[in-house]
Structure 1
């Protein structure tokens, strides 16, 4: 194990102490809005495929299984992007990876808009998924690292709420654009995030990450830039920085195997389980709902897309609620209870709700309220469970497990429907998966509320 000198350790410790003593200011809000705007378009892009499928399916004569693969191939790209993006962000910086992934998925979205070839469409969607998968966990790492312990859950989750806002915007825009202008215009809108690159370039890199890499001069400059803006531009007075409890500062690069060593083994396995189950349920249902309304209940494209808006809005409400409660109730309770309630909604849907589109709408919206809350809580919780030098890698592995759920969930739906199983069987299966996720968190999660990142990592 390579340790820095006591002087460097104290200096790295003081970078964290200076971040912890910063009062919440408009600088934090500005950073949250700029990075959050990237996440907004990520959410917007991620469900565009679901709202395009009522047109894409008939266009290329796709079976249920083929539709499932059109959805899943983006998830495969996201899985690879999450792992690669986290690995890269722990080496070259958070903002560099965020900007690179943003450019990648925006350009690929344009490619999807201008091709009539199914093969090229799938290639572009796969590469777009790599960008989508890399951006979200790295962005969560950046926001978590610039935020102090007190009420960190609320601050980070109010940033993360921008993601489900993007999902709602995708539903609303799709419901208008697809019936009137076609899916190509919808994908062309996915290039808009390119406008955010200049704003991202003006943000300072994470001082915590710079210090963890031994780049103390760069960390000092980034920290001074933040402090100067808060004191000079916004007129805040900074209290004295109080040194944090000592923790060894390691300059070695994070290795993948460290996720499964020491205290991190239990954390990593628990996180992988809940990311997988939550996204299996969420994306398996959300990506198929517009198509299910069309195929099972013979609704028009316009009506199917409007129904899907309700589910996205319910999910957004759940995200706001968990952001307000998570610092009081704690991460463990919020996540496990939300998954239990999600499974309850799905069991009720399976028992009494599959005979009409309206009942599917109501019960699926109820499940979305709770599972969206879990998805958002996982971003703040995952970023808290690892030290700075391996935080992006930990977030990436959790995100990759979620992307595996994004792949498997839609495929299971397509497989189930092609073999003639009923919607009741389908939703009961999702209820069981949600309940398993709740049990894992209840038994194995550790609580992190109101603790500094340095305290949690020990």
Structure 2
């Protein structure tokens, strides 16, 4: 009788996936479906911004109402990133992902058929819930599906983000040319519902629960079965090497155990991933509002030309995001983040010192460099480094907390820095903003942890890392 490898815990699951070394068969389809959820998150966010001007005009929205609509999704994500991580730790990775698609579908339909501000806002609330839950869980699941040597591929989410944004802009442009008129925003946000429904059906049929999560819950037979379903790995459930440790590991890690992220060897990892996530979100969303200004100056004042201009800028984000997987593999996530922060720092200082005094072509190059360096470095790594820095028991919680901090940075970037601009002017605002990438650069240089350079022994539990969690009540 053929001898099959035994699954006695999370370590064996990870070793079998790493030893397989490839993303093949059903695992490839599942990987694409999970990435599709990240595409939907970006698309749903872009859908509002692409149609915000005609929506404002048609519904006679005030400045405060526009601000509320813009802030709702990232503000809700602050809360639902850790909630998504908590759910994924307790009930598995797949159920929260499916629920997120239903929230996204409901939010798109509410907004598309809304007759007043309140209904549109409720739609954005549902989108924010979906965004917060999906991103936290998807990155954790992708990390557990992916062999260690291919971990850099998680950075492809950044390219997916810009592809989704560009796709929504292109679709909005199509609706514009089809004379959708003032209702163009309804087609934009409604199209996100179509993607949400397709993804829900695809994920419902093909997603497979993470073998790592199953093993961490003591469900070794299910973990072995799912290794076969995903990769064709024929494994069998064995007896846990340490029964006491296995029993202690079974209760899910929840909010009461969140302190594990801030002690032992996890403390520097949490600081590093949190600072990268916070600073990349803050710098992107603080400068993001400036890009349409450049676009209008270069490509003209019409809606059509401004939309094409925004697509040009996003093209550099796609290039940087796709390149980030290669850069992250060659340099490591920490050093590639440091390099990206360094370039962004220089760009912001130059923008601050030269704003209004340079030719248009030079003014175009600076934000292009900003977007490319951001997406190739810290923009991509802000999510990936957290997903790769924790053991399976706390991975979803870690990505949730890091995502929450990043969402907070988004809100701060969207609202704090425009206020500084009103008080100091645009040039001085760029100089003030330069402190953000400087903070990220210093943190990346001081903390040496990099999950793509970690030795196997770094992933073994150490005193203070994972104290036994109390049983769930």
Instruction: Report the TM-score range of the alignment, normalised by the length of the smaller protein.
Output: 0.7 to 0.9
Structure 2 distance, partners of 1:291, 1:188, is: 27
2:339 matches 1:337 = yes
Query: Which secondary structure state, in structure 2, belongs to the residue aligned with residue 81 of structure 1?
Result: helix
Task: Give distance in 2, aligned partners of 1:276 and 1:107.
Answer: 29
Deviations 1:165-220 (A, max 9, x none): 21221233234435742111001101022112232122211100110111112112
User: Contact 1:12/1:216 (CA < 8 Å) preserved in 2?
Assistant: no
Q: What are structure 1's unaligned runs of at least 5 residues?
A: 1-7, 232-237
Residues 261 and 270 of structure 2 are in contact (CA less than 8 Å); yes or no, is this contact kept in structure 1?
yes
Q: Distance in 2 between matches of 1:272 and 1:25?
A: 28
- Give the distance between the partners of 1:12 and 1:146, measured in 2 at CA: 13
Are 1:276 and 2:278 counterparts?
A: yes
Alignment of 1:77-156 (within 5 A): 77-153=76-152, 155-156=153-154
Task: After TM superposition, give the deviation of residue 93 of structure 1 in Å.
Answer: 1.1
Distance (Å, rounded) in 1 between the aligned partners of 2:455 and 2:216:
16
1:352 offset after TM fit, Å?
Answer: 2.2
Return closer, same or farther for 1:65/1:347 CA change in 2, 3 Å cut-off.
farther
Whole-Å separation in 2 of the counterparts to 1:25 and 1:298? 45
Q: Secondary structure at the match of 2:148?
A: coil
Tell which deviates more after alignment, 56-65 or 193-202: 56-65
Contact residue 23 and residue 231 of structure 2 kept, 8 A:
no
- Report the CA distance between 1:124 and its aligned residue: 1.7
Aligned to 1:171: 169
Decide which of 200, 206, 211 is 1:207's aligned counterpart: 211
Match of 2:15 among 17, 20, 37: 17
Residue 317 of structure 2 corresponds to 315
Q: Contact between 2:85 and 2:136, CA under 8 Å: does it hold in 1?
A: yes
Contact 1:149 1:450 in 2 (8 A): no
Equivalences for residues 29-428 of structure 1 within 5 A: 29-60=28-59, 66-153=65-152, 155-158=153-156, 161-177=159-175, 180-181=179-180, 182-192=184-194, 193-201=196-204, 202-228=206-232, 250-254=249-253, 255-287=257-289, 289-290=291-292, 299-354=301-356, 359-373=362-376, 374-417=378-421, 419=422, 421-428=424-431
Inter-partner Cα distance in structure 2 for 1:84 and 1:295: 42
Asked if the contact 1:171–1:312 (Cα under 8 Å) also holds between the matched residues in 2, the reply is no
Cα deviation for residue 129 of structure 1 reads 0.7
Distance 1:306 1:371 in 2: 21
* Alignment of 1:444 onto 2:442: no
TM-score, normalised to structure 2, is 0.84
Deviations 1:255-313 (A, max 9, x none): 22222222222322332222111101112332564378669998232222222112211
**Structure 1 residues 169 and 452, CA, compared in 2 at 3 Å: closer, same or farther?**
farther
User: RMSD of the alignment, in Å?
Assistant: 3.0
Shift of 1:353: 4.0
CA contact (8 A) 2:108 2:123 kept: yes
Quick check: 288-297 or 50-59, which moved more?
A: 288-297
User: What secondary structure, in the 3-state scheme, does the structure 1 residue paired with 2:301 have?
Assistant: coil
Residue 404 of structure 1, CA deviation: 0.6
1:33/1:12 CA distance change after superposition, 3 Å: closer
- On the 8 A contact 2:159/2:320 being kept in 1, the answer is no
Choose 197-206 or 357-366, whichever is displaced more.
357-366
Where structure 2 has 5 or more consecutive residues not aligned to the other structure, the ranges are 1-5, 462-473
Larger deviation, residues 196-205 vs 182-191: 196-205
Query: Which deviates the most, 139-148 or 160-169?
Result: 160-169
Contact 1:148 1:452 in 2 (8 A): no
Aligned-residue offset at 1:143: 1.0
Between the aligned partners of 1:9 and 1:395, the Cα distance in structure 2 is 26
Q: 1:160 to 1:145 in 2, by over 3 A?
A: farther
Shift of 1:24: 1.1
C-alpha separation in 1, matches of 2:224 and 2:130:
30
Structure 2: how far apart are the matches of 1:421 and 1:445? 37
